[in-house]
Amino acid sequence: MLPTEPIGSIPRPEPLVRAHREFAEGRLSTEEFERIAEEALDDTLRRFAETGSPVVTDGEQAKSSFLTYPLEGADNLAEGGPVIPFEDGHTRVLPVLARGPFRYRKYADGYLRKALARSDAAVKQAVISPSALSLLYPGDGIDGYGRDEFLTDLIGESLRDVRQCLDAGADSVQIDFTEARLALKLDPSRELLRDFIRLNNCVIEQFAPEDRRRIGVHVCPGGDQDSTHSLDVDYLDLLPELFALRAGRFYIQLASEPDRRRVLDIIRRVSYENQLIFIGVTDPISPRVETPEEVCERVLEAAEYLPPHRLGTCDDCGFSPFSDDLSTSRDTAFEKIRARVEGTRMAAEKLGF
């Protein structure tokens, strides 16, 4: 069939949401937090299996944030980093690096291995882009730890994060590049975006071609608490730059776009033959569950612009990228996933697979 994959996070059950909060406040032991997180992981994988999804994820159940998971517990961070404003008025504030060296405290293969041990399905793993973590270096620098040294460390840590996931048996590794569209909002000249792309390629280009086919990049306008940070940025400004990334897969938010055909036409014109395009066919922000028939229609629409051998489907974004995001229920998330899987199967049959 046509490939279909989830993007990442699944809303956490209420006991895990509470456990994340209590663990961050120092009121819950590591052992008890891990027990609750693994119960949620078991339930997540069971419900994935019930949807018939050929590819699953750990749902990012144990991550407090899709963005800063590598740095949980780090002692060289301070408050007051970059602020990400969302359209509904709420913000997310990142930490800032207070001193070097820059090192991950957690690598994504730790989450992956737990999912692999519990599932017979193919398991993909999401990692954060080095470009997102580059924002943690302070603008006024760090005495004794220059930006060039920081970037060297950052590239090395990001490279290790991806490589360990591939070596552990990930079906694919998805680099979350949700700041791509936001970069254009911060700097319409595209120079910031191009810097981000160069930095990400410093990691991707170190892999052999057969590994790059298993490495994907996800872009969207950001999703948190049913709001976005850059939906108003025109895809026309992003996509011609995006496909300069040397990844083999691209996961493109599309279901929530007001003019999907326009975006598909841009992708047709600026992407390359060796790039597999996963189009978003379900919108995690919308409370309405798409029908399989709607998903099927969206796939057939995309097949008018891209040959089926280059086409796959995904969700627009993760359903709960931060552990305290309760805007979507687990039931709704898995109903949408079921519709994506069934609608993709229907489209595959109509396309002759």
Specify the DSSP element, H or E, that contains 20: helix 14-24
256-291, pLDDT tens digit by residue?
999 999 999 999 999 999 999 999 999 999 999 999
Above 90 in pLDDT, residue 125? yes
pLDDT value at position 56? Answer: 98
pLDDT value at position 50? Answer: 97
How far apart CA 250 and CA 248 sit, in angstroms, is: 7
How far apart CA 35 and CA 346 sit, in angstroms, is: 39
How far apart CA 124 and CA 348 sit, in angstroms, is: 22
pLDDT value at position 353? Answer: 86
Residues 6+ apart with CB under 8 A from 254: 260, 263, 264, 279, 280, 281, 298, 302, 316
- CB atoms under 10 Å from CB of 350, counted, come to 11
pLDDT value at position 184? Answer: 96
Contact 77, 103 (CB under 8 A): no
Q: Which domain holds residue 18?
A: 4-350
78-99, pLDDT tens digit by residue?
999 999 999 999 999 999 999 9
pLDDT value at position 347? Answer: 98
pLDDT value at position 350? Answer: 97
pLDDT value at position 305? Answer: 98
**Domain CATH code at residue 273:** 3.20.20.210
Domain count, the chain: 1
Above 90 in pLDDT, residue 1? no
pTM of the full predicted structure? Answer: 0.96
6: left (phi over 0), alpha (psi -120 to 50) or beta: beta
25-66, pLDDT tens digit by residue?
999 999 999 999 999 999 999 999 999 999 999 999 999 999
Average pLDDT along the chain: 97
Q: Which of 219, 216, 224 is nearest to 239 (CA)?
A: 219
217-235, pLDDT tens digit by residue?
999 999 999 999 999 999 9
Q: Which of 4, 17, 5 is nearest to 328 (CA)?
A: 17
132-155, pLDDT tens digit by residue?
999 999 999 999 999 999 999 999
Backbone angles phi, psi at 134, to 5 degrees: -65, -20
